[in-house]
Amino acid sequence: MAKTPHREWAMIIDLDKCTGCGACVVACHAENNVPIQTEQEIARGRGIHWIHIERYWEGAFPRVKANFLPLLCQQCERAPCEPVCPVYASVRSDRENLNLQVYNRCVGTRYCQNNDPYKVRFFNWFEPVFDEPLNQQLNPDVTVRSAGVMEKCTFCVQRIRRAEERALAENRALRDGEVIPACVQTCPPSALVFGDLADPNSAVAKLAGDRRKFKLLEHLGTEPAIVYLKGGESNVRA
């Protein structure tokens, strides 16, 4: 494989812009062959969505507020899910700042799921079902995970590869904004922004310095690659 420069893939999520509409959720299902779970399985807490919207209530009626927070794998630099995997299925790529899930290594101990503080890893309790011909839609770039395998957001690694290969073929550097995961691509208010933090001129590098920035469960020291921007400030006096 050709040598590619060091990257720090990162995502900025502006909570002020996220409307909770769920476009990212369905886009991810379409891109990553994520199976839909039945009503009974969801009721048992086994729903699978690599990205989903958390909704938090704040305050009491009538001064109640609902906050949306899109939650996906935080691609931690010090990921708690990794050291507990006995078979190296959950491994880190330092070169790219990605947490990889190697499906054909996974033996389904679910240790990673237990140790994951964000609860963004999902276990396939059963063989996924795609009623024919719905299976015609499956993305050939992405493996369908079988029963007994853990899965999670990959930052659409297949899209990263595609963009890198195209840049390599054209003998040029990767441009900012050339790699767009499915969720970022579709987000109507552009609440999600993706890019390389190692490039100081990238959109994410500029936004990552925003005064509204925070990371999820920062005190755990996991050093996530996802930076949230706090929502709900206004300049209008009311």
Partner 1 sequence: MTRGITRREFIRIGVVGAAAAVLTGCLPPRAWVVLEPYVRPPEEQLAGVATWYASTCRQCPAGCGIVVRIMNGRALKIEGNPEHPLNRGKLCARGQAGVQLLYHPDRLSGPAQQTQRGTRQFKSLSWNDALNLLYSKLQAAGSATAVWGDSTMSGHLADIFARYTKAISAPAPIFFDLYTLFNGYSVLSKTNQQLFGSSALPIYDLAHADVVFSFGADFLSAALSQTRYGVEYGAFRSQPLGKRGFLVQLEPRMTITGAKADRWHAIKPGAEGLIAQAIASIIADQKLGSVERQTRAQTVAARVDVNSVAAASGLSVDDLTNLARIFAAADHPIAIPGAALNGQNNVAQAASAVQALNIIAGNIAQPGGMGMSASAPAGLIKPTPSSFADAQALVEQMRAGRIQALLVHGANPAFDLPDKIGFADAVKNVPFVVSFAPIVDETARYADLILPDRTYLESWGYDVVAPSFGQPIVSGQQPVVTPVFDARATADVMLTVARGIPAAARALPYADEVAFLKETVAALGSGAAGGAGADVLWARFQQHGGWWQSTIPAATPLQSKITAPITVSSTQFQGDEKEYPYFLHLFLSDLLSDGRGAKLPWLQGSPDPMTTIAWQTWVEMHPETAQKLGITSAQVEVGFQRGTLISDVVQVTSPFGAIEAPVYAHPGIRPDTIAIPIGQGHTDDGRYARDRGANALRLVGAQADATGSSLLWAGVRVKIARTGRQISLATFEFTPGVTRGFINAAFPGQ
> Of 200 and 238, which has the nearer Cβ to partner 1?
238
Tell me the closest approach of the beta carbon of residue 227 to partner 1, in angstroms: 16
Tell me the closest approach of the beta carbon of residue 201 to partner 1, in angstroms: 19
Q: What is the DSSP string of 76-110?
A: -TT-TTSTT-TTS-EEEETTTTEEEE-TTT-----
Residue 19's identity, in one-letter code, is T
> Of 31 and 226, which has the nearer Cβ to partner 1?
31
Tell me the closest approach of the beta carbon of residue 224 to partner 1, in angstroms: 13
> Of 66 and 107, which has the nearer Cβ to partner 1?
66
| 62-69 long-range contacts, CB within 8 A, separation 24+ | 65/232, 67/15, 67/231, 67/232, 68/15, 68/18, 68/19, 68/20, 69/13, 69/15, 69/18, 69/228
> Of 103 and 199, which has the nearer Cβ to partner 1?
103
Tell me the closest approach of the beta carbon of residue 194 to partner 1, in angstroms: 14
> Of 95 and 214, which has the nearer Cβ to partner 1?
95
| 98-102 long-range contacts, CB within 8 A, separation 24+ | 98/9, 98/154, 98/155, 98/157, 99/73, 99/75, 99/152, 100/154, 100/157, 101/150, 101/151, 101/152, 101/154
Tell me the closest approach of the beta carbon of residue 177 to partner 1, in angstroms: 12
